[in-house]
Structure 1
Amino acid sequence: MTDPFVQVRDLTVRFPVAGSMVRAVQGLSYDVELGRTLAIVGESGSGKSASSLALLGLHDRRRSIITGSVRIGGREFIGMPEEQLRHHRGNTAAMIFQDPRASLHPYLTVGYQIAEAYRLHHRTTRRAARAHAVDMLGRVGIANPARRAGDFPHEFSGGMCQRVMIAMALVNDPKLLIADEPTTALDVTVQAQILGLIAGLRDEFGSAVILITHDLGVVTDVCDDVLVMYAGRSVEHGPVRSVLGSPTHPYTWGLLESLPSLSGPAGGRLHPIPGAPPDPLEALPGCPFHARCEYHARVAGDRCRTVLPDLAVRAGDGAHRSRCHLTAPAAVFAGEIAPRLI
């Protein structure tokens, strides 16, 4: 049996700030196999983007402390020299950033920018690189790609700029694609097109995909597995149908309960999660969610505040894990009509 293409083990990302330490990611572990899509979800500040930037070595090494292991295609990326990282960014793994307009150079044509990304990794002529860039624009659904390759980013809509970013990320056929909020600020029709495009290209190239998103509806449509993050930690992880169909962590249950439902009673109120995420500067000994959790009183003693739960098997065939002291959280939620997306 071959190892998963992406193997993350005990990844920790910290940022020294004014004599203290921001704990952005703490002890994160997961795998992603080729041909599968992992969704990473959670509130803003939960560590989703920080963990994914660490995979490609995109944090400033002078201002960050990164430990653990990240193996992509059998190579260890943590501690890899910058020159080697430049070779693997784009070739082995690539990333689509949140804001395509901020990621594209306003003074260079989109065709030039895609061709430049290709020429960095291949010994080829400018003409051949431009032809490849035009081909990629056509593959991501840009009409009349030969002409549009000569246009500037401001001449494209938001959805088209996102397609350009996807073309740039895939121009070197990487086996890992990280998409950080690829549908932010796009209308639902364009969102569906972009997500369908990513899924189609994943199947065409046989790539592994990590999708960072706030939208649980997106997760159910295009992802195979989901990892729920809170305060820099994984609190629930497993197959999408298991995690979103039968959540076993109060935070996941709260995320689902705060979503509007077409099948719910007319005029029914949403139930947002009370409170705010903990201060990342503060080292918490127990469960980071306990101050906002409605169920911590059901746990004997003061364990939620003082003891960090293990990420343990809670349901299914062993692939569904969550970090909670409740002995039977699924039964607790089921007794209170747990929400389900699937």
Structure 2
Amino acid sequence: MRVFITGTAGFIGFHLAELLLQEGFTVHGFDGMTDYYDVALKRDRHALLGQHPRFTATEALLQDDAALQAAVDACAPDIIVHLAAQAGVRYSIENPRAYVEANLVGAFNVMEAAHRHKVRHLLMASTSSVYGANTEMPYAETDKADTQMSFYAATKKANEAMGHSWAHIHGLPITMFRFFTVYGPWGRPDMAPIKFTRAILAGEPIDVYNHGKMWRDFTYVTDLVRGIRLLIDAVPGGPETAVAGDSLSPVAPFRVVNIGNSDKVRLEDFIAAIEEATGLPATRNYMDMQPGDVPATWADASLLRALTGYAPATDVREGVAKFVEWYRGYYTAR
């Protein structure tokens, strides 16, 4: 089976491509190699994938519709997984136009390619940030989500609306998955795990927002991509494809699925896990909440379990230990 994945030089796209290649899929990656963070890290990820004979890649931006359509035409995929996006809650305040171009225009281009090729299933990344100001937890896919707190989250909620309309108009099966604070080896350097680990190992203070009163549903990356892999086979269709508690649309082959660990972890406990893994204490610099952020996220992953029989379960201490081991090996070698 041929799978076209956008964002294969990114954190999650890299891990998903690696998993699918291990399972015998043919994968074509598409990535713009933007400089939002260290491009060398992205190239190292792609270099590892390039060692697989069934992996090929195109380097171009999602907004370059001609390049994207040509790459999809050459791949002739059965499945498209759209992971590439302009990420970052805080950066969306500084440079919102980048989010319009990558997350809205780019997503439209991908949906158009999926429609032209009549793929079996289009899967697209959303985020737990779409739940915004919701306070009832754990978050369920059927909860109303109309109070996004950042422009990044707003673009992802727009992707969900765009996807639903596309599924309805064209009968194209689409699954949107909402990620919850993903961490692990090969992670993004702008995210807390690498920032905290780097600072602790260097004996520098770490910035802890909202004075440590933060909770996250930390999800280990290999758990996350296993969920995506299984959702590839859970193709939304008519009412006969529904399960208990489903978010399946009544008018389109479209659903939204949370992929999270279903475990609300205190940020202080996550930091403690890094301290344990490094054997070093952290010096905390407590700060106010940042604009656009939320104090807590927590996934109800029962729909994922109902659809696939699977739910992420890696304990945060185990996951952090693996992450710190990778960090030391990778950044020492550079």
Give TM-score, length-normalised by structure 1.
0.30
Q: Which has the higher helix share?
A: 2
Q: Which has the higher strand share?
A: 1
